[in-house]
Amino acid sequence: SQYVVFVMSCIIVILLLFSGAGEVPVSSRVILSSHNFKETPPAAELHARAAAMREAGADIVKIATMANDISDAAVVLSLLQQKTGPTIALAMGERGQITRLLAAKYGGHLTFAALSDARASAPGQPTIAQLQQLYGFAQQGPSTKLYGIMGNPIHHSKSPLIHNTAFRHLGHDGVFVPLLVDDLPRFMDAFQEHDFQGFSVTIPHKEAAHKAAASRDPVADQIGACNTLIRQPDGSGFKGFNTDWIAAISA
C-alpha cells in the first residue's frame, strides 16, 4: 500500500485533506509524525501523544525525540514495548542510536538508515550495511538477547564487530551494540527491565561498574574496577569481572 506522511502540527491540514475533493486513496496509509529536536519528554507524555495521534486517524504513529542522555532511549523504546498499533519510535543523536539499531527487536514498524556515512540525514543514523551486516537487523526478534559496550567516547570501538561476528558464527540469537553512557548508574536503572545479558565496560566507567555490580569476583575487588558485567541467572543482578589484568600481564 501507499504511505502518506504528515507531521502532528499539520493535523488540521490532514482533516481538511480527508474531507475535501482531493481525498487520499483508500489504499493509502497515513503516517502521522511528531518530532522534538530539543529533548525527550517523560514516558507518560510520549504515550499520551502517541494515543492522540492514533485517535486523530494515524495508521502508523512516528515519534522522534532528541536523546540528551542514553536513558532517553529507554523512554522511546517503551513506546514500542507498549504500542497499540504500528509505531516508529526513535531517539536522535548518538546517545539514542540504539533505538535505531534495535527497532526490529522491539517490534518497530521500520527504522531509517543511510546509504553511506556521508549521506546520513540525521545524527546517530546508521548505514544500511551496518544495520544488515553488523547488527543483523533482519534476524532480530523479541527473543534476541542484548549485549553492549558502555563508554564515552564509544564510536571507535571494534567490540560490536568482534562480538556480532562471533554470535553469527555460534548461531547465537544476540546483538551487541555501542552504548554512549554519561552516567552508568542512571543507565543501569533506566534499562534494568530490558534484555541486556552483559556489558563490556571501557573508560571512564570501570570504577563505577565495580560499584554498580551486585557481586564481584575477588580479582575485580582487589583492583577496584570491572570491565565486564554479566547478568546472573538467579536474578541477583550483574556480577562484575576484571579481565584487563590478564591482558596486561600477558602483553
CA distance 31 to 6: 6
Q: What is the pLDDT of residue 2?
A: 54
Single-letter amino acid, residue 22 = G
CA distance 50 to 9: 13
Known catalytic membership, residue 244: yes
What is the DSSP secondary structure assignment for residue 131, as one 8-state letter?
A: I
Query: Which residue among 72, 83, 163, 244 is the active-site one?
Result: 244
pLDDT digits (tens, 9 = 90+) for 35-65: 999 999 999 999 999 999 999 999 999 999 9
Average pLDDT estimate for 70-75: 98
Known catalytic membership, residue 155: no
pLDDT at position 82 over 80: yes
Query: Which residue among 35, 109, 145, 172 is the active-site one?
Result: 35
pLDDT digits (tens, 9 = 90+) for 190-225: 999 999 999 999 999 999 999 999 999 999 999 999
Known catalytic membership, residue 35: yes
Query: Which residue among 47, 62, 163, 239 is the active-site one?
Result: 62
CA distance 8 to 161: 38
Burial, 37: exposed, middle or buried (Cβ in 10 Å; 0-12, 13-18, 19+)? exposed
- Cα 87 to Cα 33, 46, 60, 130: the distances in Å are 10, 12, 6, 22
141, 173 contact by CB (below 8 A): yes
CA neighbor of 152 nearest in space, from 205, 198, 99, 227 = 205
Single-letter amino acid, residue 85 = G
CA distance 217 to 209: 13
CA distance 96 to 12: 31
3-state DSSP call for residue 13? helix
Q: What is the pLDDT of residue 249?
A: 87
Query: Which residue among 47, 105, 206, 239 is the active-site one?
Result: 206
Single-letter amino acid, residue 124 = G
The residue behind cell 558464527 is 169
Helices within 33-158 (DSSP H only): 43-55, 71-81, 98-101, 128-129
Known catalytic membership, residue 105: no
pLDDT at position 16 over 50: no
Q: What is the pLDDT of residue 117?
A: 87
pLDDT at position 176 over 90: yes
pLDDT at position 25 over 90: no
Residue 247: pLDDT band (50, 70, 90) is confident
